[in-house]
Homo-oligomer: A and B are copies of this chain.
Amino acid sequence: MATTELTVTISDAEWRVMRIVWTLKEADSRTIIDLLEQQHDWKPATIKTLIGRLVKKGALATTKNGRQFIYTPLIDEQSAMDTALITELNQMCAMHRGTSLAHVLDQLELSHDDVENLIDVLQKKLPTAPTMVDCDCLPEGCERSC
């Protein structure tokens, strides 16, 4: 059985590295360092540390290529994004999630196709949507003064 790294946690700084590798599909450290030095004022050593941690965490795979390595993602970008968002939302009051998402959707730049897709997803939910979602901030059986 494999190491089943389905629960890799990626920190903010590490996320920047992953985005490069996700976008390029694969990259050597030189490429990653060059690109990130342009975006942030990180020293090469800092970026090396981040790459090293991501490899140790099982977020990046390495393939020997002569003297250096080629790094490839071991976790899926879309899944990582989905998980991060869901995790964040799950930590918030269930009753207020809808409003927050409305604010987010309002402020975010989305493509025409995305907007249509989102409307579609929501339309499908309408029939089965409950009248209201209860606040889950207090333990079971407590007064809800939301």
Contacts and interface: CB of A to CB of B under 8 A. Distances in A.
In the complex this chain forms, how many copies of it are found? 2
A91 B85 CA distance: 11
B103 A82 contact: yes
Interface residues of A, number: 66
Main secondary structure of the interface of A (DSSP, over half): helix
B82 A111 contact: no
A130 interface: yes
Interface string A100-117: 111111111111111111
A135 B82 contact: no
A69 to B, nearest CB: 20
A45 interface: no
